[in-house]
Structure 1
Amino acid sequence: MSLQHLSHSITTLRDELVPSRYALKIGDIEVLVVSDGVLPLPTVMLGHNADPAVRAAWMKDMFLPQDAFDWPLNAVVVRSGEQTILLDAGLGLDPDLHLPRAGQLIKRLEAAEIELASVTDVILTHLHMDHIGGLLIEGVKDRLRPDLRIHVAAAEAKFWEAPDFSQTQMPEGFPDALRATSKRFLKEYQDQIQLFDDEYEVASGVVARRTGGHTPGHCVIRVASGGEGLTFAGDAVFPVSFDQPDWHNGFEHYPEEASRVRVGLLRELAASGELLVATHLPFPSIGRVAIAGDAFRWVPVFWDY
């Protein structure tokens, strides 16, 4: 994978009218953000603890539909030295939840001419199905390296032995699908999974750090090289998080802790000026965090052609 090839080669897909990948460099490290598609979900899940009128006003101000809208779904490919690292793996096959516009990651990696056999490592922010499902598509495991290393926080693997959904607010069917997908994933990839506790350097300049909150083992991944940095925040940050960081997302298993993690991470990024990418921010989801008092602001980067 070369930046020049990723940035300038164009694969025309007749069924796609918009870009689905975006390349940049962080020092000497190559980064590619890839869209896995979108998830149509109820807007109430952006802040189920919020006053409905306040939530509706926010949606109106953002020119978003009141009932449901398409959540973006992003993954990242990183190349550091001889290692090619996939950060999260998308939804994969639709687990009977009627999400036909997601699960595009594998075909979009192919369109970028990234061979699955070239991936040396996978870092999973957590084990929700829209972050691991791409690895469960039929035939994918056979195309991966037998020595592939899949990095997961130990607390995350432990949590999914008996997951607690008591504080979540998910649509019907999602808890059962999440349980089944995580169970299948942990069984199928048990020989490749490498657990870490709180922080682990997967490659030079690529560090996974457990934050908890969204799930007990949720982690973020920081890419740093040449005085530059980028954090892939997984599900620690959502589109509403800058204006309303204390709103609870329906997929958060421990929402109070998730809010604390979110505010801390946004403050870190505002202080450092480093780039942020997150799973559910609008593609390519690359930007910075500005801050004034207790208010955060999302500042998208200008696309570099």
Structure 2
Amino acid sequence: MDLDNTSHPVKSSPDELVPSRYAVRIGDIEVLVISDGVLPLPTKMLGHNADPTERAAWLNDMFLPQDAFDWALNAVVVRSGKQTILIDAGLGLDPELNLPRAGQLIKRLEAAGIDLGSVTDVVLTHMHMDHVGGLLVGGVKEQLRPDLKIHVAAAEVKFWEAPDFSHVSMPPGFPDALRAAAKQFRKEYESHLRLFDDEYEVAPGVVVSRTGGHTPGHSVVRVASGKDGLMFAGDAVFAVGFEHPDWFNGFEHDPEEAARVRVRLLQELAQTGGLLVATHMPFPSVGHVAADGDVFRWVPVFWDY
């Protein structure tokens, strides 16, 4: 990956006439945000503990529909030194869920000129299927390096041995699909797993840290070089979470802890001024966080052309 080679136009079919990659430089480190597409979800997923009237008002203020919305899916490629690191792997292709506009990561990596064989490391923020599914697409594993390292929190792997779904609020079919994807991933990539407890430096300036909350092993990745910093927050932060950090997302296995983690990370970003990227923020999901009393404000960057 070279930032000079990621902005060239590529031949696209009509359904691909959308922005799907965005390059950022953090000091000497190259970061490329890749869109895995979108999937439609019920708006209740944004805050299933919220008063329906308040949730409807927020959606109205954001010019969003009241019934369902397009849930963004973003992954990140980081190049630090001689390492090329893929952070999360997108949804992949699950025919049982009928989500044709998601699972675009592999073809969009190819369009960006990123050879799967060049990826030295994968970091998983957690093992939900929209973060591991791209590695389960047919033919992908054969293109990966035999010495590929997949970094994931030990607590996350342990959780999926007997996952607890008692506090989630997911659409029908998702719990079974999540269990199946995690089980298949573990089976296929067991020998590539490199487990960490709380924190691990994957490459110079690239550190993954376990936060818990969303899942017991949920982690964030901080990228730092020179005076620049960026956090890939995985599923700890959602669009509604700035104004309503106490609203529970339907995919959170421990929603109360997830809310505490969300506030802590947003406070950190507001204090440091670092960039935030998150899986489910609208693409390219690059911006700053400002404190606004007891809540927060999302400040998208001006796109750099």
For normalisation by structure 2, the TM-score amounts to 0.99
By how many angstroms is 1:297 displaced? 0.1
Does residue 169 (structure 1) correspond to residue 169 (structure 2)? The answer is yes
SS of equivalent residue, structure 1 residue 190 = helix
For 2:159, the equivalent position in structure 1 comes to 159
Quote the Cα distance in structure 2 between the aligned partners of 1:143 and 1:33. 21
Task: Name the residue aligned to 2:88.
Answer: 88
Partner of 2:117: 117
C-alpha distance after superposition, 1:223-258 (max 9, x if no partner): 000110000000000010001000000000000000
Partner of 1:193: 193
- 1:10 maps to which residue? 9
- Structure 1 residues without counterparts, runs of 5 or longer: none
SS at match of 1:209: strand
Aligned to 2:206: 206
Secondary structure of the structure 2 residue equivalent to 1:195: strand
How many residues are treated as equivalent by the alignment?
Answer: 304
What is aligned with 1:148?
148
Maintained 8 Å contact 2:49/2:248: yes
Q: Letter of the aligned partner of 1:141 in structure 2?
A: K
> Aligned ranges for residues 1-305 of structure 1 at < 5 Å?
1-7=1-7, 9-15=8-14, 16-305=16-305
- Whether the 8 Å CA contact 1:119–1:144 is kept in 2: the answer is yes
Q: Distance in 1 between matches of 2:165 and 2:2?
A: 42
Q: Share of identical aligned residues, percent?
A: 75
TM-fit CA distance, 1:292: 2.4
Distance 1:247 1:97 in 2: 26
* Structure-1 separation of matches of 2:182 and 2:95: 12
Alpha-carbon distance between aligned partners in 2 of 1:48 and 1:63, rounded to the nearest angstrom: 19
CA distance in 1, matches of 2:208, 2:60: 36
Q: Tell me, in whole angstroms, the C-alpha distance in 1 between the residues paired with 2:95 and 2:259.
A: 29
Runs ≥4 in structure 1, deviation > 4 angstroms?
Answer: none
**What TM-score does the superposition give when structure 1 sets the normalisation length?**
0.99
Assess if the C-alpha contact under 8 Å between 2:245 and 2:295 holds in 1.
no
| Residues 213, 259 of structure 1: 8 Å contact kept | yes
Measure, in 2, the Cα distance between the counterparts of 1:59 and 1:12: 36
Q: Which amino acid aligns with 1:11?
A: V
Distance (Å, rounded) in 2 between the aligned partners of 1:22 and 1:262:
25
